[in-house]
Amino acid sequence: MAGRGRKGQMVAGSKAWIAGLLALWLAWPAMAQGVDRVPQPQARILAIGDSLLAWHGLTARSIPQVVARALGEPVDNRAVSGAHVIYNLPLTGAMGMRISAQFGRDAPDWVIVSGGGNDLWLGCGCRQCQRRMDRMISADGRKGAVPALLARIRATGARVVYVGYLRSPGRGSLIDGCRDEGDAFEARIAALAARVEGVHFLSNADLVPDGDRSFHAPDGIHPSIKGSRAIGNRVAALIARLDATRQLKR
């Protein structure tokens, strides 16, 4: 029995190790897009999340960098491509693959947040995702990993903009089948935002006209430069509207 137990532990450990490598392998093409990793301790706006915010970082055209230019102030972008809301591997999780680990002992004015897409797409293939979705956020928006993270952020006094995902252009995208799950997840985020002061949900479900691929990168998943610019300007406009100390520079 002891031998079987050790064997089971070895199998479980091997599976976890393989899962970690797989997650990094899947994230690598996105990670190549880069993130602005220059430390910006003076920044009063922080961005955490996944590839929605990380994409185009190396060319200074990511969503947080668009926000920075629009508001005329630095934005510290810590988003990591491939990051999950629920991520159990300790080492890579602490390195940023777990979105909550991207927020430390910070006290910014605003935190721009994305996340959940990789959990639904890579975690459950956008099929039979109810359990995973409930772990991220309950139907009423009160329980789960996302409310816990946002509560931790709000406890610092920072306000939150939770950024919704682009929808599939409807032409050959790998995420065509995720529309229903994405809508359900974001409805829960919207319910949380309606209930919690200082948390604002920015939907981008209306941004992409059916059949228009210009808002997406060639993979049909991530934002194009046009898409990042459009979302970034929406985020900046929302912050400027809600925060009397900030205004759009252009």
d(CA 208, CA 49): 21
If you average pLDDT over every residue of the chain, what do you get? Answer: 86
pLDDT of residue 17: 44
Q: Average pLDDT of 120-138?
A: 88
Q: List the structure tokens of 223.
A: 């934002």
Contact status, residue 141 vs residue 195, Cβ threshold 8 Å: yes
How distant is the alpha carbon of residue 51 from its chain centre?
Answer: 7
Which among 32-36, 90-94, 193-197 has the top mean pLDDT?
A: 193-197
pLDDT, residue 11, reads: 46
- Percent of the chain topping pLDDT 90: 67
CATH architecture of the domain with range 2-242 = 3-Layer(aba) Sandwich (3.40)
Q: What is the pLDDT of residues 45-83, one digit of tens each?
A: 999 999 999 999 999 999 999 999 999 999 999 999 999
Give dist(CA 118, CA 76) in Å, integer.
22
Q: What is the pLDDT of residue 128?
A: 80
- Structure pTM? 0.84
